[in-house]
Amino acid sequence: MATRKKKTQTPDQLIAEIKVWAATNHCEDDALVVALLADLESGQDLDAWASLDSLEILPAVEYKAGDKQLRLTNLISIARNILVFVPVALTWVAVSKATTAFEQYTAANPTAVVNFLEFWQNGYGILSKDWTIGHIALLDGLIIGLVIALSLTVSVLELRHKKSMRTTVAVLEKDRLTLALKIFKYLHAHKTATPAVVNAGIAGSVRNLLATSKEMAKASKELAKDLKKSTQGK
């Protein structure tokens, strides 16, 4: 049975993949990435790179796709936080306007029997309708409703941002790990023959020999059984 040969990645292919990954993740100017690409293109100091952890060579990925959405969420939050105080401020301004107008009314009509709340509601031609208690109460209610709507909007946008961030970061990290593995496999052949590397190679060879020996012993036993059966049958 013919064994399938694994395709070895060429330096040009690896360089192209690193450049695409760096451009996608906005780290073309990263010092380690630039130095690695230069040495891969020249074929120099690859043994030094092989001694490093491939994941340490590639910078950590950052989630930038949701920056615009996050800025929008922050702006809405600021607007909501400001609007929270608008009803209070509007009400106190209305009270001030109504008090001043009421003083003018009582000075002009000293015998009139009108309480402040009644005057604030009716105006009596002195207080503008825009500052009457009913109109101010309506404005306060609308503003409070808007604050509630903005609060719900902020909550929804924050949940969407977190969900999108988790999904996108997982994909980016997977791409980083895949590329780091390809770099490791390519540089592994350029490792300097240190005792640790030699011992690892020997250990791997021993494991392969033991596995082969077990397979051969198993095959020998099966062959012996077959021969015994054939001789008994004659």
Going from N- to C-terminal start, the domains of the chain cover 67-169, 193-234
Instruction: Check residue 195 and give its pLDDT.
Output: 53
37 to 50, 59, 120, 187, 195: CA distances (angstroms): 14, 14, 77, 13, 28
pLDDT for 193: 46
Answering whether pTM is above 0.75, one says: no
pLDDT higher than 80, residue 9: no
User: How many beta carbons lie within 10 A of that of residue 166, not counting itself?
Assistant: 11
Distance in angstroms (rounded) separating the CA atoms of residues 37 and 186: 13
Question: Per-residue pLDDT averaged across 46-57, rounded?
Answer: 84
Residue 96: per-residue pLDDT: 93
Q: Return d(Cα 119, Cα 127) in angstroms, integer.
A: 8
Confidence check: pLDDT of 172 > 60: yes
Query: What is residue 52's predicted lDDT score, i.e. its pLDDT?
Result: 84
Q: Which residue did the predictor score with more confidence, 6 or 15?
A: 15
Confidence of residue 212 (pLDDT cuts 50, 70, 90): low
Highest mean pLDDT among 32-41, 121-130, 136-145, 193-202: 136-145
> Is the pLDDT assigned to residue 67 strictly greater than 80?
no
The pLDDT of residue 209 is 57
